[in-house]
Amino acid sequence: VHERAHTGDRPYTCDFPSCGKAFATGYGLKSHVRTHTGEKPYKCPEDVCSKAFKTSGDLQKHIRTHTGERPFKCPFVGCGRSFTTSNIRKVHIRTHTGERPYMCPEPNCGRGFTSATNYKNHMRIHTGEKPYMCTVPGCGKRFTEYSSLYKHHVVHTHCKPYTCNSCGKTYRQTSTLAMHKR
């Protein structure tokens, strides 16, 4: 199985219509299929948390948000930051080195990114793709990033948890409060 990491052999293929993604391991395929089915069999054991995950590894990373464990330390002297996963640390290290391995291929753009996620999100500006849709009935608003959809959901709750210390006015998002304070 490990050899496939070097050979690029991916014998396990997703059978979902118009997908066809291939994987080096059966476990990789099984985890991927859960993105289609929505199955999340790994539940957080914390009583106050209702989150569930498609892989045991994702659950283990999540548990660190409860324990505060950050075992992956930045090796740069004087930084002192630590992270819940080695991949997050790897992306952080690029802020020290200046490495931006993900370059936008669009003419006249030239932007570079430290992470594949930021690169993919950026590319949606050029393609117009908005894969994240609000599922609240009657809304249907679409977003290029999951984080934007997550922030958007607060408009449906009517909750305004951010308060201006000067005048007492309340806001749904910290960014709106920050604009108000200027």
Segment 53-100, tens digit of pLDDT: 999 999 999 999 999 999 999 999 999 999 999 999 999 999 999 999
- Kindly provide the residue ranges of all beta strands, DSSP E only, lying in 54-158, ordered along the sequence: 72-73, 82-83, 102-103, 112-113, 132-133, 142-143
Rounded Cα–Cα distance for residues 140 and 155 (Å):
13
Top-tier CATH class for 42-97: alpha beta
- The Cα–Cα gap between 178 and 173 comes to 9
How much is the pTM? 0.61
Average pLDDT of the residues in 35-53:
93
CB atoms within 10 A of CB 113: 19
Domain ranges for the chain? 3-37, 42-97, 114-156
Domains 42-97 and 114-156 share a fold: yes
Q: Which fold has domain 3-37?
A: Double Stranded RNA Binding Domain (3.30.160)
Angstrom CA distances, 31 to 21, 22, 84, 116, stand at: 12, 12, 21, 20
The number of beta carbons lying within 10 Å of the beta carbon of residue 128 is 7
- 114-156 — its CATH code? 3.30.160.60
Q: Is 91 helix (H, G, I), strand (E, B) or coil?
A: helix
Q: What is the pLDDT of residues 121-166, one digit of tens each?
A: 999 999 999 999 999 999 999 999 988 898 888 888 888 889 999 9
